[in-house]
Structure 1
Amino acid sequence: MPSTITAEKAALRASVKEFYNTGIDRRKSDHLLLERFLSLPQVEAALSLLLFYGTGTEPDTGALLEPLLALGKTVALPRCLPGRRMEARVYRGKEHLTPGPFGIPEPDMTCPILARDAAALILVPNLLCDRRGYRLGQGGGYYDRYLAGFQGFTVALCRDALLRDEIPTQPHDVPVQLVVTETRSLSPDRAERSGAFAPLPM
């Protein structure tokens, strides 16, 4: 019998599917999310970044690849490995992308590995986030395993309408350091110190 938290997460995933049936203007939402991400000082400072390649209802993060490369960044994408693990491989152009086990474009084996600690910033996928920086993923645990012990900066893009006050968590869940929505950038760490959830200045 599934645990209460597992059942709550399943219900939240179902609610996200319902949300996308409401006719949201995803193109406008994506534009605002990606624009705010590119304007982050942490992105400007990062020499190497690990992105995810957005598919389905996720923001179109593939549109970030060329602008970041034009800024001289090293950009990597995840490649799934057995045992629900993943590695980062440097993006070398669309001709070097191949469908992964879930149909998500991944760098092929000719692309060099980017060591986890070589990435200054990781953009973490999610279905929704809460104000503490916790995110609800697809349930595979790939990123929770990869982020364990990561010392760099972590960011999640979350649509305003999908930001929650609190979502159920488990011990293995790893929060991100910054949640970016269409209208604001929110730092859970700053909230914990001040006792209130405060937007970061842009």
Structure 2
Amino acid sequence: MTAEKEDLRRQALTWLADLSPQDRERGDDALFRRFLSLPQVQSVHTILLYCGMGTEPDTLRLLPPLFAAGKAVCLPRCLPGNQMEVRLVQQDSSLIRHPYGMLEPDLRCPLVPPEDVDLVLVPGLAFDRSGGRLGRGGGYYDRWLTRFSGYTVALCRDGLLLDSVPRLPHDVGVELVVTETGLYGPSASGPGKSGA
């Protein structure tokens, strides 16, 4: 299964590398519209985002509308041993570049325990229609999510929505997968997909 996952990661990264900047931006626009309009997003107070990097959705674009809506927004920090912690950010918070390339809150940002987070936007290279997630292999979110009991959402480009993602016992899926054109997963309305 590990070899199968690595092959899927290579395929996903190749597909992403072929996307033009314009296609990525258009896809981000559609993904962010859908995410911000979710009732689950509108009804919660504290949201954990991730800082998209490279070909990932530019999720920092979500900060201004979430702040404007009065949401408390958190970002993750990587810790040794493939662990992570969550810190609250404000509009003027300093973000620092991690060696992996993503931005993280600095240590002056308040620490937030998992039980104080209502909704997590979970990153991934690809997802399937049942909420299965193909991460990058570090296990940071799989470990953190075992202590989380709130709602999980993912953004997935239509071209990276798979029929099935192989899962090991420790792999944690998401409740809702948002693509440019639909909603999928255990809590999607209807038979697994909703229209625009």
1:56-91 CA-to-partner distances (Å, cap 9, x unmatched) read 110010000111011111000000111110011011
Shift of 1:137: 0.7
1:26-80 CA-to-partner distances (Å, cap 9, x unmatched) read 1100100011000000000110000001011100100001110111110000001
**Residue of structure 2 in register with 1:10 after alignment:** 6
TM-score (norm 2): 0.93
Equivalent residue in structure 2 for 1:20, among 16, 39, 43: 16
Counterparts of 2:118 and 2:19, CA distance in 1: 36
**Residue of structure 2 in register with 1:53 after alignment:** 51
Counterparts of 2:134 and 2:87, CA distance in 1: 24
Matches within 5 A, 1:8-157: 8-24=4-20, 25-93=23-91, 95-157=93-155
Counterparts of 1:149 and 1:190, CA distance in 2: 23
Could you tell me which amino acid in structure 2 is paired with residue 63 of structure 1? R
Aligned-pair identity in percent equals 50
- Could you list the runs of 5+ residues in structure 1 that have no partner in the other structure? none
Shift of 1:149: 3.7
SS in 1 for 2:2: helix
TM-score (norm 1): 0.90
Shift of 1:143: 0.1
Asked if 1:199 is matched to 2:180, the reply is no
Aligned residue pair count = 194
CA contact (8 A) 2:114 2:147 kept: no
